[in-house]
Amino acid sequence: MKVALPTSGKQIDSHFGHCETFTIFTIDEKKQIVSEETLTPPAGCGCKSNIIPELAGRGVSVMLAGNMGEGARHVLEQNGIKVMRGCSGDARETVSRWLSGSLTDSGEGCRHHAGESCSNN
Does an H or E element contain 99, and which?
helix 91-99
Instruction: Give the pLDDT confidence score for residue 1 in this predicted structure.
Output: 96
Domain ranges of the chain: 2-56+69-99
Q: What is the pLDDT of residues 6-63, one digit of tens each?
A: 999 999 998 888 889 999 999 999 999 999 999 998 776 556 667 899 999 999 999 9
56: Cβ–Cβ under 8 A, 6 or more apart, which residues? 79, 80, 81
Phi, psi of 77 (to 5 degrees): -65, -35
pLDDT exceeds 90 at position 112: no
pLDDT tier for residue 105 given thresholds of 50, 70 and 90: confident
Q: What is the mean pLDDT of the chain?
A: 84
* CATH entry 1.10.357.10 includes domain 2-56+69-99: no
3-state helix, strand, coil in the chain (%, to 5): 25, 30, 45
Instruction: Give the pLDDT confidence score for residue 33 in this predicted structure.
Output: 97
54: Cβ–Cβ under 8 A, 6 or more apart, which residues? 39
